[in-house]
Amino acid sequence: MKYKDYSPDIWKRIHTTLEEVLKVDSHPVAAFDADGTLWDTDLGENFFQHQIKHKLVKLPSEPWEHYQKMKAENPQKAYLWLAQICEGQTLGQVHSWAKEALRTLHPVPVFSEQRKLIDLFLSKGVQIYIITASVKWSVEPGAEMLGLPYESVIGVETSVENNVITDEQKGIITYKQGKVDALLEKTGGKKPFFASGNTMGDFQLLQVATNLRLAVSAASENDKKLYNTEVELHQHAVSNAWLSHRFI
């Protein structure tokens, strides 16, 4: 699919703001949500579907329905569970699975304007972080595809001991306010000058940005839940004079 480009006004505000920020900070921070913000898919749930299809980990009967029910009742618990089911696997094995899952999307529907924005930021020395409620390991290959190291991804994970994944929660669950808390923990309290997201799950992340906030969307009206939360974030963007863009 061909996605709509950012308007000249959006690019002008980005370039102008970046120039001003770089006058006082040679390595500013930029923060992006992952799924629905950088690409038009959910790498976390795609990875889970890959695990189900190939029976890679031990799962309950009807695993997708089990996950959806858990997510409806307690999102944080559900997102952690998607990491916990990797218990007993080596980190290398899970990374290999994540790369295989990414390849099944051929090609990954990356928003080209977000790729251009990341390239611009990297060329100017901006420190970029991807903050996701998905399992960190499932998103890392997507970050790598955009020229970013695994370390740039802040997501849900469990502890790894002797290269073997455990079921013990590691760090903050990166959902809503947890995205902000985890990012600031990573940066030592330094706030991003720029943040971009697509749903109300990213609202707090956009709020914490000091200079620019960009709300994006691409969900079809047929996907009611995602579409509605993207519309709600767009409404906040309009009322707060944030940048906003619909890719389709």
> How high is the pLDDT of residue 141?
97
CATH number of the domain within which 197 lies: 3.40.50.1000
Contact 242, 215 (CB under 8 A): yes
Contact 215, 234 (CB under 8 A): yes
**Cα separation of 40 and 42, whole Å?**
7
> How high is the pLDDT of residue 166?
98
Contact 160, 91 (CB under 8 A): yes
Contact 40, 3 (CB under 8 A): yes
Please tell me whether residue 211 adopts helix, strand or coil conformation. coil
Q: ∠68-232-7 over CA atoms, to 5°?
A: 115
Those residues of the chain that have pLDDT short of 50 are none
Phi/psi at 37 (5° precision): -110, -45
187 within a domain of the structure (yes/no): yes
HEC states along 117-136? HHHHHHHCCCEEEEEEEEEH
Give tens-digit pLDDT for 83-113.
Answer: 999 999 999 999 999 999 999 998 999 999 9
185 within a domain of the structure (yes/no): yes
> How high is the pLDDT of residue 8?
97
1 within a domain of the structure (yes/no): no
Indicate the pTM of the whole model.
0.96
**How many folded domains does the chain comprise?**
1
Count the residues in the chain. Answer: 248
> How high is the pLDDT of residue 106?
86
Tell me the residue type at 90: T
3 within a domain of the structure (yes/no): no
- Output the six-digit token pair for 17: 């703001």
58 within a domain of the structure (yes/no): yes
- Output the six-digit token pair for 127: 């420190």
**Domain containing residue 171:** 8-246
104 within a domain of the structure (yes/no): yes
**Cα separation of 42 and 34, whole Å?**
8
**Cα separation of 195 and 237, whole Å?**
12
